[in-house]
Chain A
Amino acid sequence: MKPAPFSYHRATSIDDALSHLKAGDAMVRPLAGGQSLVPMLNLRLAPADKLVDLTRIDALKQTEQRADCIRYGALVTHAAFEDRRVPDASNGLMPFIGSQIAYRAVRTRGTIGGAVALADPAADWLTTIVALEADVALVGRNGRRTISGTNFAIGPYMTAIEDGELIEAIIVPRRPGSERWGHYKVARKTGEYAESMAIALIDKALGKTRLVVGATDGAPLVLARASREIAAGNAGDSLAVVIRTELADSGRDFSPEKLLLHSTVAMRAVANSEKR
């Protein structure tokens, strides 16, 4: 099983990469960690005429601490989060997420920017950046722009990235120390893509809650009504009804089994937030 032939350019800078991404009709793809793209090339599921390798661009590997946020370069690996080689402002949620993506030999190469750019609905970082209210910094030939993580994914594998644009960084706001996070994931096998996942961020001191469900065959779902009810003290069976109703009303056309799965996973994420 070999990929179809393609050409290759090892980009030396962001500008160099952007100039090579412009290629008329040819299918040019940026290559980050390659942990999803290369298997897809091997299986000949993703056509590519040319790969632009981003992994030697130092500017995409930098992490910058700012007063109100941390800016992670797109090439920061899952293992760097897992090993806490980059700073954390999520009360440990990001190191935890990094530690349970796929397998160690994938985490050492796979990057947060690459994972977010692919926008696999069942992948971990997409749901995480929506939960954390992170922003995605994009760079293209027409300059730079920032888009909120919540508006970034517009469907399965579909994002707001325009032709010839790259993710430069993921900008995560410093979460309040009083916030507690809960996470729950259902996967058929350890390290596999999720059947369902949910993240609950609950801050009793500030009276704020954010509940997000991922692996929903599209962009992650922010359950705004359930979040308000949790903040107001709703719990148990009556909260489960609220979550299930909100999921059913989301327009995603969930089967009864999926509805039960996602609502159960959301409830467990809420319950897990109490354990921290």
Chain B
Amino acid sequence: MKSSISAVVNGKPVQTSVEPRTSLADLLREELRLTATHLGCEQGVCGACTVLIDGQPARACITLAVGIDGSEIRTLEGLDQDPLMFALKAAFHDKHGLQCGFCTPGMLISAWDLLRRKPHLSEAEIRVAMSGNLCRCTGYQGIVRSIKSAAENWARRAALAQEQGA
């Protein structure tokens, strides 16, 4: 039996009904056609489906759609005007943070959450914090460099903004 849910997805109210076994990832991709959320392993290991639920990163493949009733969901599409995400995308472009691009949406969302919580991280800390997102192309070198570079650009920008404000 289907259950009706309502949520806010990328700022827009959504009302729909889902089977209890439908994952949030399938709801986003199949029904809402938000295909930036990628499905790799479908068992919570690869991180390609990482989205934000009420501002917190989560695996959409192991989140039941029926359970997100009343929540605010943000996918990569919903961060296209976000300045930190813009900095991350530019850095991934610059420092070869992707090859095939399959893992990239999850990488970007995890990195976005990471830099918001911990803007000043060493390379080793970035590697540990990003260990929940798998990439089978890059060997991670470019991804770590991209995140480090985005973090530095972001910190410079924040310092500049503070200077101008003062």
Contact = CB atoms under 8 A, between A and B. Distances in A.
Contacts, number: 90
A1 B42 contact: yes
How would you classify the secondary structure of chain B's contact residues: helix, strand, loop or mixed?
A: mixed
B134 to A, nearest CB: 10
A190 B21 CA distance: 30
Nearest to B43: A39
A105 B50 contact: yes
B113 A38 contact: no
A105 B58 contact: yes
A43 B43 contact: yes
Size range of the chain A interface in the assembly: 20 to 34
A271 interface: no
A51 B65 CA distance: 13
A66 interface: no
Contacts of B67: 10, 31, 34, 53, 55
Interface residues of B, number: 34
Nearest to B132: A103
B152 interface: no
How would you classify the secondary structure of chain A's contact residues: helix, strand, loop or mixed?
A: loop
Contacts of A41: 21
Contacts of B50: 105
Contacts of A35: 44, 59, 62
Nearest to B18: A8
A108 interface: yes
28 contacts: A2-B21, A3-B21, A4-B21, A5-B20, A6-B20, A8-B64, A10-B67, A31-B64, A34-B62, A34-B63, A35-B62, A39-B43, A41-B21, A42-B23, A43-B43, A103-B132, A104-B57, A104-B129, A104-B132, A105-B57, A105-B59, A105-B132, A108-B53, A108-B57, A109-B56, A109-B63, A189-B131, A191-B132
Interface of A: 1-8, 10, 31, 34-35, 38-39, 41-43, 51, 53, 55, 79, 102-106, 108-109, 189-191
